[in-house]
Amino acid sequence: MSTVLVFGGNSFVGRELVEMLLSSGTKVVTFNRSGNVPGIESDQLLTLKGDVTKREDLDQLADYQFEIVVDNISVNKSIISNLLEALSGRSEIKYLLTSSSAVYHLIRNQKENNFKESDVDVYHQYERNSLFQDREWDYIQGKADCERLLLDSNVSQKMIIRPNVILGKRDPIKRTNYFLERVHDKEGVLLPDEGHNTYHLVYSTNMARFYFDLIKNSNNKENLIVNYAQDEIFTNRKMISMIDKCNNFETPIFNVGKEKFVENEITPPPFGKWGKYELDLTLLKEVESQQTIIPVVDWIKDLNDEYLELREESYAFSFREKERAIIKTLGTVK
């Protein structure tokens, strides 16, 4: 197998991918601002320390051989321009770009559901969507810019993977812990508008395995643009129900309007913010090995077990007292 260069090997998906590659005997070069991938030691692993925003740091790459590039870090045209310039003398490489299903929000006003890989024209400048704050919109437009620049490059093989929200062990944002901490304190969960909004999620191990399979079978596809998510469709109610089953609980759900969260300056639950959000995964099913996918029920249990071991607070733990105050005023539960 070819030598693989991984930008962002310290991310929780990147780390899992590096571990899989090393276990298969693949040589790996990682490029990280923080240096070594913690806890991983191998004669097959070389870690380069540098900042991708500094062109001189990327000059280190000239001294090493690799045939496949995994880019987990490009979020705007400045970063990917630096990477592509540093790799400009190596047109015969396969480049895997982690984009985002967030690019579909470029067309959110035009198309509310059934998104396909071809629906976003990254060569077209869309008007800013009023649903999003400036920071969110910059991220969405930035990922679209990254796709365009890669497609315009002279790289011989281009793969663009658009994942939905990624969850997994060691998740630095701890989004699932929002539900886990509320289920385990047994005081009920507030859900805006009954929690029926639909969405897909991504389990980090499944995504790392997908990347691994694309690398291992690198000659099967010349170019690829694919949505990446679990096939199963979630709602916030379903998420709570699945956690309940892991623990033999029955969590009370209190339904309120979104305005209650706004009025009380409470951060709402993660996921499912925009009504129906169901991606077209037809192409994914054609290229992903179905035999290696960890089922949703198993990875929900994994995240539940991790939470019980570590009890790490979610990003919204500080709002729990405000939520309790609202719950006390509500009488009807699910």
Residue 125: predicted pLDDT:
84
pLDDT attached to residue 276: 83
**pLDDT recorded at residue 251:** 96
pLDDT of the residue at 274 = 72
Strands 189-192 and 253-256: parallel
**Amino acid 258: pLDDT:** 87
pLDDT of residue 220: 57
Summarised one tens digit per residue, pLDDT across range 90-106 is 878 999 999 999 999 88
What is the predicted pLDDT for the residue at 200? 93
Give pLDDT tens digits for 267-314. Answer: 999 987 777 888 999 999 999 988 889 999 999 999 999 999 999 999
Ranges of residues in the chain whose predicted pLDDT is under 70: 1, 110-113, 218-221, 331-334
pLDDT of 50? 92
Q: What is the three-state SS of the chain?
A: CCCEEEECCCCHHHHHHHHHHHHCCCCEEEEECCCCCCCCCCCCEEEEECCCCCHHHHHHHHHCCCCEEEECCCCCHHHHHHHHHHCCCCCCCEEEEECCHHHHHHHCCCCCCCECHHHCCCCCCCCCCCCCCHHHHHHHHHHHHHHHHHHHCCCCEEEEEEECEEECCCCCCCCCHHHHHHHHCCCCEEEEHHHCCCECEEEHHHHHHHHHHHHHCCCCCCEEEEEECCCCCECHHHHHHHHHHHHCCCCCEEEECHHHHHHCCCCCCCCCCCCCCCECCHHHHHHCCHHHCCCHHHHHHHHHHHHHHHCCCCCCHHHHHHHHHHHCCCCCCC
